[in-house]
Amino acid sequence: MLLIVDYGMSNLRSVAKACEALGANVTVSGLPEAFDHADKVILPGVGAFGHAVAELKFRRLIAPLKSFIASKKPFLGICLGLQLLFESSEEAPGVPGLAVIPGRIARFPAQPGLKIPHMGWNQLHIKKKQCPLFDGVPENSYVYFVHSYYASALGDVLAAECHYGVSFTAAAWQNNVFGVQFHPEKSQATGLKILKNFIDYPIPQC
């Protein structure tokens, strides 16, 4: 079962519909016990970092999220769901993230001609071609972004990057944990291929 985490911070239905269309057995839930039955988890998200952390705490979801990730089962964070995997964000000073990936989320610097948020289509530059999310995805494929904050390009965790005034992490990969800054559910055929790759990613045998 693929669990899509409901914590009141995203358009869950568009993610769920895309995954269902790709053949996944989807459950949308914000209950901590839902993780007990999940083989894979997607943490989507749209909105502010601090508000998201507060909602996760209120709904008692932080411990189940960390426990699921530690189980080595496949996990995907989308947009704000990626940013929450980091230690902290400039958007909410003093508010800790899940700290699954080291580093801090920063705001795009103001530059002449650069509109913030970064909104629209941009090209992926795949840095880890062995990343399972990008199996069959061509270099320079376009995907859809909506965000004002970003993770800087990260050494071994960086799976794909993009450029918008600065180079930033478009996708991260660390063991069983995947994260994408773009919205695959809004990225047409390329996004659906990436979601399909996650859905088809093998579940470890205990």
- Phi and psi torsions of 75, nearest 5°: -135, 135
- Does residue 88 lie within any of the structural domains? yes
Helix (H) or strand (E) holding 196: helix 188-200
How many Cα atoms occupy the beta-carbon half-sphere of 149 within 13 Å?
20
Spell out the alpha helix ranges (H) of 71-173: 80-83
Q: What is the average pLDDT score of the chain? A: 95
From 79, 91, 161, 162, the catalytic residue: 79
Known catalytic residue at 79 = yes
Say which of 19, 118, 147, 185 is annotated catalytic.
185
Range of the domain at 85: 2-200
Active site residue 163: no
Active site residue 185: yes
pLDDT reported for residue 204: 76
Strand partners, 75: 41, 177
Digit-coded pLDDT (tens) for 36-55: 999 999 999 888 999 999 99
Beta-sheet pairing, 158-164 with 125-126: antiparallel
Residue 205: inside a domain, yes or no?
no
Looking at the domain assignment, is residue 206 inside a domain? no
Query: Which residues share a beta bridge with 27?
Result: 3
Classify residue 41: in a domain, yes or no: yes
User: Where residue 122 falls among pLDDT bands split at 50, 70, 90?
Assistant: very high
Catalytic one among 91, 162, 183, 206? 183
Question: Which of 149, 88, 89, 96 minimizes the C-alpha distance to 118?
Answer: 149
- What order of strands is seen across the sheet that includes strand 26-29? 26-29, 2-5, 40-43, 75-78, 177-180, 166-174, 158-164, 125-126
Where does the pLDDT of residue 10 fall: very low under 50, low under 70, confident under 90, or very high at 90 and above? Answer: confident
Rg (CA), the chain: 16
With a pLDDT cut of 90, the percent of the chain lying above it is 89
State the CATH number of the domain containing residue 140: 3.40.50.880
144 occurs within a structural domain: yes
Q: Is the model's pLDDT at 206 over the cut of 60?
A: no
Domain count across the chain: 1
Q: What is the pLDDT of residue 9?
A: 82
Rounded to the nearest 10 degrees, what angle do helices 49-58 and 62-70 cross at?
90
74 preceded by cis ω (within 30°)?
no
